[in-house]
Homo-oligomer: A and B are copies of this chain.
Amino acid sequence: MDESGPSGRPEEDGAPSSRAVRIQDVARLADVSTATVSRALASPERVSPEARARVLEAIAKTGYVPNPAARSLRSQKTYMVLVVLPDLSNTFFSKILRGIEERLFEAGYGMIISDLDGSPEKEAHFAAFTAAGRVDGAILLNGHLFGQSRDGEGTPAKTGIPLVALCEAIPSADIPQIEIDNRAAASGMTQHLASLGHRSIAYVSGPPNNILERERFLGYQEGLKASGLPFDPALVLAGDYTIASGMRAGQDLVARSTRPTAVFCTSDEMAIGLMRTLLSAGLRVPEDISVAGFDDIEFAAVAEPALTTIRQPRRELGQTAAAVLVDLLQGRPSPKRIRLETELVLRDSVAPPQNMEKAPAKITRTSAIKPT
């Protein structure tokens, strides 16, 4: 009764309208049973070469594609993977997604994206979605398991399907984790700044309670300690990884009478926003203040000045997470934790502090113009 698509009649001209080429049609044309058709596709070695050839020919002739709903109903598999992330419009995720999509595609899986958007309602929806068996597995980028529809008390997320945590480790859950060593990376950057002579290094944080943030903050403190510098709470500025929060942090700094000589922002977005604010206020980067970022997003290299930062292998992170999940889905063993390497990318936004200009600053800096 609501059969009116954009085109009108369900059938016209020669072709019988892509709908309704069933396995039966193929079976009839190939003069075999439906079981043989199914087997010819799922386990070719179990049918005779002749039958297989006839089946394949019939499939080619009819353009048969198995009905996924029927297949899924019977076999309890969906060949779909859910990717849960906190904010789809965040630049940081797009390349990760791409990596995930690539690997999943290769393995024959589709990708469903859920942008949680901080909404518990959405979270509940996707929890139900998952529980309903709509996906075979999930990759979680949001740093926590979502609450189940019921029995949400003790163990979180007993979905029963394979899960993989990407970027944000989930401490309580016994699932594979793909991540970078945030702590070591943050410590490394802090020590790098200190090694250039900076004694007052500010830190622009991520959102509180965020696991990445906790790790990076620990790394920052570690780096200070390793460099023999005291930790000063006044140098910790609140951020949330967004450009806007970087600008706010910048305004905070501009308003101060005494400023740190270097600022370590835990995302490139914040670093870029912060630099913008400093520059607008007449401060120079890196001459007056050095600024470092985290992530190495595309825009880091073309920021003005080009941003010194920590490269995360984003695409590879996505690919790895997808590969691990596919392993799980196909019953293969998989490592419980994979840590990918980060890399300190030295560009122009960091230099030794002004008052000790003696040291040759630029020897470590890479070429700023590097057309990928």
Contacts and interface: CB of A to CB of B under 8 A. Distances in A.
A266 to B, nearest CB: 17
A199 interface: no
Contacts of A151: 15, 63
Contacts of A301: 243
Contacts of A269: 298
Interface stretch (A28-36, A126-134, A183-191, A220-228): A126-134
Interface of A: 2, 4-7, 10, 15, 17-19, 63, 65-70, 72-73, 78, 80, 87-91, 93-95, 97-98, 101-102, 105, 110-115, 117, 122, 125, 128-129, 131-134, 148-151, 158-163, 174-175, 242-244, 247-248, 251, 269, 272-273, 275-277, 279-280, 298-299, 301-304, 306, 315, 328, 330-331, 368-369, 371-372
Nearest to A73: B69
Nearest to A101: B115
A98 B105 contact: no
Given A19-B160, A243-B372, 14 more contacts: A2-B331, A6-B163, A6-B175, A63-B151, A67-B132, A89-B94, A97-B113, A102-B115, A242-B372, A243-B301, A247-B369, A276-B304, A277-B369, A303-B304
Nearest to A131: B18
A365 B331 CA distance: 60
Given A113-B101, A280-B369, A371-B247, A131 B162 contact: no
A91 B132 contact: no
A314 to B, nearest CB: 9
